[in-house]
Structure 1
């Protein structure tokens, strides 16, 4: 593990390792907002009655709300859920200060964006729902929340890529079955993934932090976002792996490191 940590730390320092951040970081930071798919599904289901069998299935619960209560209701519920102020994990502040070319953040809170707020020359690219932005897969935003274009994104020192959207600046969310079906139909040929992300990931390695791979949705996005990058990656997972996770990590050549996030954050800060 010592050599692996040295490779990771050196890779981050020279911009060759891309952090891929998941919802588990929220729990590590002591946040009260949902930090996994079933918990978010239950939060939504507690506010709008949905069939019991889908109460812990995010995409199905979100689709039910969208179908029977309108898309605006789903968006309002997600806004309400993630507008609660969440603590920024110290690790995010350290990553922000490293001026990394690309950071992937796969959850709906804006903690990574707030960590970047004091830095110069960064912006965010978010996945868009086809039900709200038909024909447009992503939206670009400057650090101040103003809309930008692909040309502006090429000038940023750090690109924050949020494939599932985020609370801010515009409440963009991929959450329902139809949202993900649209993206997954095209993602194998990379259409929904921004060109700058495809360029920046080339030959680089990924470090997964706060991510689990025990559902097909998260595996699919990780697999496609890593495409045409390096052939060796890492994941901090300090817990037993499911059989599906073991298979996925093996197939994608992702080495699991049984190391608490707080311990890794301390090593990075040092």
Structure 2
């Protein structure tokens, strides 16, 4: 794909970030941050592996932990992973800071994306789940640069004048809302399929757009479904899957969504487009 930087700046190609962008990211103490499903499970379970059935996908493991130890435990553990230690921004966020696209989709749950927009006014939309008051599975905030604070706004006040940061799986900031366990994903995806995962204005914005999938694991059923719902009516795009052989499910997703896979790592891609 030609002119990627220009397309990112003008908004015709939208960055879509997954857990894999944390590969090679370490805390100041030298510990690795979760960068795939297995390492997320270990982080949630104090470094201990779980049964093969639960190790299949971190949402399944998180559901087991929630059932045994309670919802508050899994929320606090998720928050602990990203807030208890300091770590350098992964390269992809450093790179995006130089571009500051008008729309970014980030399925990670930390606040790295928020940090790179801390010097400009922007809109933050975080996912929520398992609520009964409304069908919408999102909360909208407007960022005040001078006060460095977020304020909730109703979806009717949302416009496209400011950069929009969509964190559909939640975030540590400004409020702890996480889509982490099976029950969370089932609820979120159910409402997403009904059209309640994003504000209506974004449904128009995403039409006929291309996507740059960075660090997204399409071998896992859950995130293929998440990506499918968030990119409806897409034009196509790029995936970065640096592996010798793709799974059948990965190949099918790439083909049906008119994507091109570049066999390179996220870091290699960034080096080519700095």
TM-score (norm 2): 0.86
2:115 alignment partner in structure 1: 114
2:146 alignment partner in structure 1: none
Question: What's the CA shift for 1:132?
Answer: 8.4
Q: Which runs of 5+ in 2 are unaligned?
A: 144-148
1-structure distance, mates of 2:50, 2:241: 32
2-structure distance, mates of 1:34, 1:133: 33
Which secondary structure does the structure 1 equivalent of 2:271 belong to?
helix
2-structure distance, mates of 1:103, 1:113: 11
1:43-63, Cα deviation, whole Å (9 max, x unpaired): 223379976642453222222
2:105 alignment partner in structure 1: 104
1:234 alignment partner in structure 2: 238
Which secondary structure does the structure 1 equivalent of 2:173 belong to?
coil
Task: Identify the range of structure 1 (147-156 vs 220-229) with the bigger mean alpha-carbon deviation.
Answer: 147-156
Which secondary structure does the structure 2 equivalent of 1:145 belong to?
strand
Task: Kindly indicate whether the alpha-carbon contact (under 8 Å) linking 1:214 and 1:244 is maintained by their aligned counterparts in 2.
Answer: yes
2-structure distance, mates of 1:202, 1:142: 24
2-structure distance, mates of 1:92, 1:263: 14
1-structure distance, mates of 2:127, 2:56: 23
Task: Kindly indicate whether the alpha-carbon contact (under 8 Å) linking 1:41 and 1:56 is maintained by their aligned counterparts in 2.
Answer: no
Q: Which runs of 5+ in 1 are unaligned?
A: none
1:41 alignment partner in structure 2: 41
2-structure distance, mates of 1:151, 1:186: 19
Instruction: Tell me the matched-pair count.
Output: 263
Are residue 9 (structure 1) and residue 5 (structure 2) matched? yes
Which secondary structure does the structure 2 equivalent of 1:91 belong to?
helix
TM-score (norm 1): 0.87
